[in-house]
Structure 1
Amino acid sequence: MSKVQLWDGLGFNEARRVDKRGHHDFFWAVVENNCVALALVLPDGANRVLPLPQIKSLDIRYRKLGARDALFLALRDQEQIELFASLCMDIVSAGEQGETPSDALDRTVRRTLRWHHLLRGGSSERLSVEEQRGLLGELQVLQLLCTVIGEEAAIEAWRGPEDGAKDFELNGMCMEVKARRGASKPQVQISSADQLADVAGAEVFLLVHDVDAAIKPEGMTLSDHVQVVEDIFKFASLTAYGTWERLLTATGFDWSHDFSDRRWIIGKRTAFRVEDGFPRIPLPVPMGVLNVKYAVALDACAAFTVEDKDLLTEIAKTQSAIDT
């Protein structure tokens, strides 16, 4: 059957079950203005309504299918019916993996969110080796924050993908993250004057991760590492998951890219408190100086090292300050 035939024979306000043997109640439907749609009947007595993305050319909302509540994805632009059919079948495939009707709804909305970010335009270029290494360093910190302060606060703190002044910004604490080859010269590259600059009302930390290439079967691919974090947010709130999807896309990572040619091992993490005396270029830089980039020798930072237990304490304090 052609994709455009999925809605054949249906008139306004009519629906047909996608798969009679399916586990969940997905329907092909036709709504106002002869717009084709996909509908998922909601669980009886559903007590929460998940927030929905806004996608150009689509009308996504809750409405009635007969006497029952349902989630509808309707296509406004009929010229896009082939793409819409592919989107719908992918969403149904994801939703059918849900063990319960509520889980099917979660998976349906989450997959729709993924399409939302893909349709907004992901990078077609695969991340370079150094971009992969940098993303892995930030993912390690994100996982650490999830453990200490929870997924919601952790993902809200991640600012690097959207060009924040610091990679992570918490209440009273900012962190700049660098990843380096463990055997390389002990230094890190600072790509702007702001990266190590003071922040009013917050302490600044530099976190350096050793991230090294490995030979199979050692290590994991970038996609494997991303999947670990994906699995964390898969069971978080929909808001946190949506933010994770948005920020991951902003890094340039694309699930369709093949990263199987390189595997990675995450080594030690070293933290430094950036304060008076730390080796950095002071602000403000002289008038007319632009695009400041420099390297910091890690040996010169030894006096500013922060033990892991103290770093965890500082992170935990950012949430306790909010709670009080």
Structure 2
Amino acid sequence: MKLINEFVDAWKTFEASKAQNGWQVIPVSSFSNCGLMAGMAFPGPREAAIFNFEVTTLPRAELLPSGKGFSVEHVEVEGKKWIALAKSEDGSPDLYVAMLENLFSLLEVMGATKGDVLLHSFLDRVSAWQDFMKKGRQSLTIESQTGLFGELSFLKDLLDLGLKEEAIKTWDGPLDGLQDFHIGFGAIEVKSTVSQDGFIAKIGSLDQLSDSTYKPLYLVGKKLGISPAGISLPMIIDEIRTELGGDLSLLSNFESRLLRSGYLDMHSGAYDRLLVIEKSLMYEVDQDFPRLTPQLLNPLIKSARYEIDISSLPAKALDLKEILNKVGVSI
């Protein structure tokens, strides 16, 4: 029996009991690194999965992540403090189950990891789900799919040079970074298009092309085409997962950032476009590059979004080694 089915059966039992208040719990199959119970909070009722990480202290309740559709709470059972991940009364049952299955997969993959390290990875993944819920919980738009494919294509360029840790830990786009990658002492913003008529780069803020914090700053343009010979968004994600498979920490980090990007495996069937990279172009964002930044504008202008037609700007084929050398990363 799948683990999630044990929880579903337990929740049905709780609902039939019609308890008045407090927690009802039932032990279920556990992992070697984490104890598990199915639970339900009354009144509500609110379904819950309850986790025990065998750590000395848990984060204070106010520091636990929570999101639309679920809550994270302390629960004391038999003198031990557990962490309950409970569905909100208005939460989506399908997404709640998908979240639990994702967390179970994390615990299984990190089977040799215990204690505080495991708890940190767990809470990071829960926090990623919090971000995902905030972004609407729907499948990615075509534009978002194109943007994510371009970022992952650049991330794979780094992996192909053997830069596994740098590829994952510098991918800051999903973490609301100013630019998509902060690597060495520089930054790289990735823009993608499937348009065959020019290349319009959408700039999300006045700071995105500012080099006041990270310098040098590069804009990488990924010109994509739709072709039967291409690969889909889920396919490039699986390729990256395969490359990271031997490093559980990096794989977990990647999965959390992917989730924060709005990607969920349960939506993968909707991402069936087959894309090829027709060109990878590099633009150095210097004093001659057309841009709007706080340093170039009247200080009364506080925010702006704008578009740049980069198709007529001088660019050269992407030379990743040159970029890495300029930002102080040696390979």
Query: What TM-score do the two structures reach when normalised by structure 2?
Result: 0.63
Q: For residue 236 of structure 1, give the secondary structure of its aligned residue in structure 2.
A: helix
Number of the residue aligned with 1:53: 65
- Paired letter, 1:226: I
Aligned to 1:16: 26
Matched, 1:138 2:148: no
Aligned residue in 2 for 1:71: 83
3-state SS of 2:310 partner: strand
User: 1:270 aligned to 255, 261, 281, which one?
Assistant: 281
Relative to structure 2, which stretch is displaced further, 218-227 or 142-151?
A: 142-151
Matched, 1:209 2:222: yes
Residue matched to 1:295: 309
Counterpart of 2:191 (choices 169, 172, 178) is 178
C-alpha deviation, 1:247, in angstroms: 3.5
Contact 2:70 2:85 in 1 (8 A): yes
Q: 1:171 to 1:95 in 2, by over 3 A?
A: same
In 2, the alpha carbon distance for the partners of 1:306 and 1:86 equals: 39
In structure 2, what is the Cα distance between the partners aligned to 1:21 and 1:142? Answer: 32
Kept in 1, the 8 Å contact 2:11–2:40? The answer is no
Identity %: 13
CA distance in 2, matches of 1:214, 1:260: 14
Distance 1:237 1:208, change over 3 A: closer
Are residue 29 (structure 1) and residue 43 (structure 2) matched? no
Equivalent residue for 1:307, pick from 312, 315, 319: 319
Q: Name the aligned partner's letter for residue 205 of structure 1.
A: Y
Distance change >3 Å, CA 293–CA 199, structure 1 → 2: same
Counterpart selection for 2:136 from 122, 132, 135: 122
Q: Structure 1 residues 142, 93: CA separation in 2 closer, same or farther (over 3 Å shift)?
A: closer
Cα RMSD, aligned residues only? 5.0
Q: Which of 1 and 2 has greater Rg?
A: 1
Counterpart AA for 1:264 = L
* Cα distance in 1, alignment partners of residues 97 and 149 from structure 2: 32
Partner of 1:221: 232
The match for 2:108 among 65, 80, 98 is 98
Match of 1:5 among 1, 4, 12: 12
Deviations 1:193-215 (A, max 9, x none): 95885522522212122422221
Q: CA deviation at 1:122?
A: 2.1
> Which one-letter code corresponds to 1:275 in the other structure?
D
Whole-Å Cα distance in 2 between the matches of residues 74 and 22 of structure 1?
Answer: 22
Paired positions, count = 298
SS in structure 2 at match of 1:293: strand
Distance 1:21 1:259, change over 3 A: closer
Alpha-carbon distance in structure 1 between the residues aligned to 2:313 and 2:135? 42
Whether the 8 Å contact between 2:26 and 2:37 is mirrored in structure 1 is yes
Listed one character per residue, the Cα deviations across residues 16-56 of structure 1 (whole Å, up to 9, x for unaligned) are 2235999974222356878754223335xx57968842235
Q: Which runs of 5+ in 2 are unaligned?
A: 1-7
1:221: Cα distance to partner?
1.3
CA distance in 1, matches of 2:266, 2:150: 21
Separation in 1, partners of 2:44, 2:144: 46
3-state SS in 1 of match to 2:66: coil
Check whether the contact 1:222–1:259 (CA below 8 A) recurs between aligned residues. no
The answer to whether the 8 A contact 1:205-1:271 is kept is yes
Unaligned runs of 5+ in 1: 320-324
Equivalent pair of 1:35/1:74 in contact (CA under 8 Å): no
